[in-house]
C-alpha cells in the first residue's frame, strides 16, 4: 500500500463532483491507452512496467561499482541535461543534507552537475575546483551528440586524462547511453568505460528510475532498491482500477484537465520543503515537455514556500486568475527542532515557545492554502508522510503515470518533444556547423 495521499478539499467551489465523474469515461480511455500501450508514443512506454521488468542484477552491479568509485572520489560529476539530469538531481537533493558535501556517514562524494547549460564561467570554475579533488564522473546521453553534455564531457574527459593518465581515467568514467549505437556508445566501447543502458522504450523525462538516475543516486549513497520499491508500490495501486475515487493519478489527471477547461492555464507546484526544489524542476520538465504542444497545454510553474510568499505571494493571491496550485505536503520532518523562549520577547513570538518548527510551517501551509482558495486559486493537495527513498519513488511514478493519462485526455502525444529541436537548428546554423550552410545564410539575414 502506498503512503501518498491526495485531497480535493480545497477545490470546493471550483469543481463539482458531477463534473469530475463526467470525465471518467474519457479518463478510462486514456488509462487503457497507457496501460495497454495503444496510445500515441506507445514505443516510449517501457517505464510503465519498468519495476516489473528491470533486471535486478543490474541494480547489484550498480551498487557494487558505485561502492568502488565512492572509495576513490571526493567528487562525482554527473554530466547530462533535461531528463538525463533533473530527475537524478531531484532525488539526490531531496535526500541529501544541503550543508554537507556528500553523504558523509556513508563516505559518499559530493555530487556536482555539468553539461546542463553552456556557461563558460560555470565550467571553468568547475575545472578549477576539480584540480585538487579526487573525482570520477558519469556521462549520460543516448546519442552522445547532444551539445551541452557532449561539450562538457569533452572538457572533463581531457581534464581527467591529464590529471590521472588515460588508463586510470578510463576507470573513473561511467557511460550511460544507447545499447547499440551512437557516438557515446562507440567511445565507451573503444575506451572500455563501464557502461549502462538508456532503455530504447523510455524517454529521458521518464528515465530517473532506470540506470540514468540509479547510478548517480547510488553514488550519492542512497538506497536505490527502496526507490524502486516505492515506484513498484505506486504502480500496483494505480493498476488496480481506473475509477477516479480509487486511483489518485486518474484523479489528478482529471482535476487538472477540468481546471484547464475552465481557463486555469497555469499550474503551480508548491512545496514547503526546500529539499523538494529540484523535484519541482523535474516535474516542470515532465509536464511541460509532455503536454506543451499543438498550441495547447497547461503551463507548469513552481514556487517554494514560505520563501516565495515574500516575492510571488502577492501575484498568486491577487493576480490574473488563470492559476491553480498543486500542493506537495510533507507530514513529518526527519529532524526535530523546537523554538526556544526569549525572556525579552522583543519579537513578540513567545507564544511559539516549545512548538516544533514543523508545526509553524504546517500552519503557514494551511493558512496559505485557505488564503489562496479564498482568492480564487483552486488547490489540489498531495501528501507524503516523510521524505525518503520510498516516498520519492512513489511520487515519481505517480507523476509519470498521471502525466501520461493527462496528456491522452488532452489529446496530445505525451511522449515526444518535436519543439525541442527548433533552437538547435538555429544554434548550429549560427555556429557554422557543416551541413547547415543554407540555414546559416538565411538566419544571418534575420539578426
Active site residue 424: yes
Q: Produce one character per residue of 50-74: b if its CB has 16 or more CB atoms within 10 Å, e if not.
A: bbeebeeeebeebeebbeebbeebe
Specify if 195 maps to a domain.
Answer: yes
- Please give the DSSP secondary-structure letter assigned to residue 246: T
**Structural domain tally of the chain?**
2
Three-state SS for 348? coil
Specify if 427 maps to a domain.
Answer: no
Predicted pLDDT at 103: 52
Residue 77: how many CA atoms within 13 Å on its side-chain side? 25
201 in the same domain as 237: no
83 in the same domain as 193: yes
Q: Catalytic one among 240, 355, 424, 425?
A: 424
Specify if 424 maps to a domain.
Answer: no
Q: Catalytic one among 93, 267, 281, 289?
A: 289
Specify if 343 maps to a domain.
Answer: yes
Cell of 144: 552522445
Residue of 420, 417, 419, 442 lying closest to 429 (CA atoms)? 442
Which are the contacts of 254, defined by CB distance < 8 A and separation ≥ 6? 20, 23, 24, 27, 244, 409
214 in the same domain as 168: yes
Specify if 434 maps to a domain.
Answer: no
Predicted pLDDT at 184: 96
Active site residue 445: no
Q: Walk across the sheet containing 299-304 and list its strands.
A: 5-7, 379-384, 323-330, 266-271, 299-304
- Domain extent, residue 311, equals 5-38+230-416
Kindly report the pTM of this predicted structure: 0.95
Question: Which stretches within 165-306 are classed as H helix?
Answer: 166-171, 183-191, 211-219, 224-238, 248-261, 277-291
Q: Catalytic one among 57, 120, 131, 310?
A: 310
Active site residue 325: no
Cell of 277: 526544489
Predicted pLDDT at 99: 84
Three-state SS for 444? helix
Specify if 421 maps to a domain.
Answer: no
Specify if 88 maps to a domain.
Answer: yes
Query: How do strand 379-384 and strand 5-7 relate by DSSP bridges?
Result: antiparallel
Predicted pLDDT at 1: 63
Last residue of a domain, one of 167, 189, 222: 222
Cross-strand partners of 226: none
Q: Could you give the CA distance from residue 178 to residue 188 in angstroms, rounded to a whole number?
A: 10
Specify if 191 maps to a domain.
Answer: yes
At 199, which CATH number? 3.40.50.10490
Q: What is the pLDDT along the chain (447 residues), one digit of tens a residue?
A: 678 989 999 999 999 999 999 999 999 999 999 999 999 999 999 999 999 999 999 999 999 999 999 999 999 999 999 999 999 999 999 999 888 765 544 578 999 999 999 999 999 999 999 999 999 999 999 999 899 999 999 999 999 999 999 999 999 999 999 999 999 999 999 999 999 999 999 999 999 999 999 999 999 999 999 999 999 999 999 999 999 999 999 999 999 999 999 999 999 999 999 999 999 999 999 999 999 999 999 999 999 999 999 999 999 999 999 999 999 999 999 999 999 999 999 999 999 999 999 999 999 999 999 999 999 999 999 999 999 999 999 999 999 999 999 999 999 999 998 877 777 778 787 777 787 777 777 777 787
Amino acid at each position: 500500500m502506498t503512503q501518498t495521499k491526495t485531497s480535493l478539499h480545497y477545490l470546493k467551489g471550483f469543481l463539482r463532483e458531477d463534473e469530475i465523474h463526467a470525465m471518467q469515461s474519457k479518463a478510462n480511455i486514456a488509462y487503457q491507452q497507457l496501460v495497454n500501450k495503444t496510445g500515441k508514443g506507445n514505443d516510449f512506454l517501457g517505464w510503465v512496467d519498468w519495476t516489473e521488468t528491470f533486471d535486478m542484477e543490474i541494480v547489484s552491479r550498480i551498487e557494487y561499482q558505485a561502492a568502488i568509485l565512492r572509495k576513490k572520489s571526493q567528487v562525482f560529476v554527473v554530466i547530462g541535461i533535461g531528463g538525463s539530469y533533473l530527475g537524478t538531481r531531484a532525488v539526490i537533493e531531496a535526500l541529501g543534507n544541503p550543508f554537507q558535501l556528500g553523504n558523509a556517514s556513508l563516505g559518499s562524494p559530493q555530487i556536482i552537475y555539468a553539461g546542463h547549460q553552456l556557461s563558460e564561467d560555470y565550467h571553468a570554475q568547475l575545472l578549477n575546483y576539480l584540480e585538487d579533488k579526487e573525482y570520477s564522473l558519469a556521462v549520460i546521453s543516448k546519442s552522445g551528440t547532444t551539445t551541452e553534455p557532449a561539450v562538457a564531457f569533452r572538457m572533463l574527459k581531457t581534464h581527467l586524462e591529464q590529471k590521472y593518465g588515460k588508463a586510470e581515467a578510463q576507470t573513473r568514467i561511467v557511460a550511460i547511453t544507447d545499447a547499440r549505437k551512437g557516438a557515446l556508445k562507440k567511445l565507451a566501447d573503444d575506451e572500455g568505460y563501464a557502461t549502462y543502458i538508456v532503455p530504447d522504450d523510455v524517454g529521458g523525462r521518464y528515465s530517473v528510475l532506470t540506470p540514468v538516475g540509479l547510478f548517480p543516486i547510488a553514488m550519492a549513497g542512497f538506497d536505490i532498491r527502496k526507490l524502486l520499491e516505492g515506484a513498484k508500490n505506486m504502480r500496483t495501486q494505480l493498476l488496480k482500477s481506473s475509477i477516479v475515487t480509487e486511483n489518485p493519478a486518474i484523479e489528478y489527471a482529471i482535476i487538472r484537465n477540468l481546471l484547464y477547461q475552465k481557463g486555469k492555464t497555469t499550474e503551480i507546484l508548491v512545496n514547503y520543503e526546500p529539499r523538494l526544489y529540484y523535484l519541482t524542476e523535474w516535474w516542470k520538465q515532465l509536464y511541460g515537455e509532455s503536454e506543451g504542444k499543438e498550441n495547447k497545454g497547461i503551463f507548469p510553474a513552481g514556487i517554494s514556500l514560505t520563501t516565495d510568499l515574500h516575492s510571488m505571494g502577492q501575484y498568486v493571491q491577487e493576480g490574473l486568475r488563470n492559476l491553480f496550485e498543486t500542493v506537495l505536503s510533507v507530514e513529518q520532518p526527519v529532524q526535530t527542532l523546537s523554538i526556544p523562549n526569549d525572556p525579552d520577547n522583543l519579537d513578540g513570538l513567545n507564544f511559539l515557545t516549545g512548538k516544533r518548527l514543523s508545526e509553524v510551517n504546517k500552519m503557514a501551509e494551511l493558512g496559505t492554502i485557505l488564503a489562496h482558495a479564498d482568492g480564487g486559486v483552486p488547490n489540489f493537495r498531495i501528501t507524503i508522510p516523510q521524505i525518503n527513498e520510498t516516498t520519492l519513488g512513489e511520487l515519481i511514478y505517480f507523476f509519470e503515470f498521471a502525466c501520461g493519462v493527462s496528456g491522452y485526455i488532452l489529446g496530445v502525444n505525451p511522449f515526444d518533444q518535436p519543439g525541442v529541436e527548433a533552437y538547435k537548428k538555429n544554434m548550429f546554423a549560427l555556429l557554422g556547423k557543416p551541413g547547415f550552410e543554407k540555414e546559416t545564410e538565411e538566419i544571418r539575414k534575420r539578426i
